[in-house]
Every structure is written in structure tokens, then in C-alpha cells.
Amino acid sequence: MWYGATVSTAPTDGAELISIAEARAQVRLESGDTDFDDELNRLRVASRDYVEARTGLRIPVQTVTIWCDLFADLAHVPVAPVSAVAVTYTDGSGNEQTLGTSVYELRNEELSTRIALKPNQSWPGQQANSRVKLVLTCGFATPPASLKQAALLMLGSWFANHERDGTAQSDEIEMLLANWRRG
């Protein structure tokens, strides 16, 4: 079983899915018009959050910590895409240990992530009722265009329709996200 994700290194402004300049252009504001920047910044984050929630993907690169009960849970990691992982656990003596990369390998397959044993390796003993901790570097260095376009459509729709009825451009957004949903 997996337990909630904690983002320890959140995306910075330069790494956000939509830049402030792209947000201004999407809503047809002049590049120097900063009157709506607070609202646009809120909508930039909200549109990324929406895309992440609908797809199960992390966008853009960020550091996330998650926990699971057993090493067997590593067969399906609930975060993707992942570029690096550190695994720690509590051994039978109650000491925190870092699992060496000689024991496991990270496998990104399509939109799935898993951590598998390397040949001739086995998972170490774990203290009863303790959790396995993963610190993941995840997200897209360059987000796919369809994910970015979906976020831009969300931002533009929300900016234009403050009292949104839930139907504006939803079909187009869902079509852009459809192939990126994790199962």
C-alpha cells in the first residue's frame, strides 16, 4: 500500500509547465501587462495541478517522497515519469538503511514506473510495521506538447470565465490528456 506524496522540491517559476509570458499570451495580454499576474500565477499552478491529477503524471521536474509498506509494492510505483530514486528502509534491528543501487533498478515503461531486483539479488529484511521510503526525482524535463496545450486551454478558459460552468473546452482538454493517463 502506498502513502501520500510529499513534494520536497517544488517546481520553480522557470520550471512551471506554463511560463508567465505564455500565460499572458494565452489570454491575449501585452507582454508588459502585469496587472493580472497574481491571477495568472494562481491559474498556472491550478492548470498544472489539474493535468497532473487527470493523468497521474508529475509535471515538471520535482522531488517527491512517498512511502509503502513492503518491497513488493515497488512493482508498481504510483508516480511517473521517474528519472532517479533513493530507497531507504528500517532493517530488523531498527536501523534506517539506504538500499544500494546494486540491488535494484528503476524501470520506466511507457507511463509505468517500477523498481525491480537486479539478477541474483533479493530484498533485505525489514522491521515489522515499518515503511519503505522512496525519494524520487520525477517529471518531464520537456513536457509533451499535448499536456502543455491542455494546461493552456484550462488557464485561458478559467481566466475568461471566472464563474465557469464546467463545460468550456472540456472535450478538447480531455482529448489532449487521453493518451497520457496512467492506468
- Residues of the chain scoring pLDDT < 50: none
Q: Per-residue pLDDT tens for 27-76?
A: 999 988 899 999 999 999 999 999 999 998 998 888 999 999 999 999 99
What pTM value is reported for the model?
0.82
Which residue, 86, 61, 79, 67, is CA-closest to 9? Answer: 61
Distances (CA, A) of 61 to 15, 70, 127: 7, 26, 32
Q: H-helix or E-strand containing 46?
A: helix 37-55
- Tell me the domain boundaries of the chain: 11-57+146-180, 62-138
Which residue, 86, 133, 126, is CA-closest to 106? Answer: 86
Cα Rg of the chain, angstroms? 20
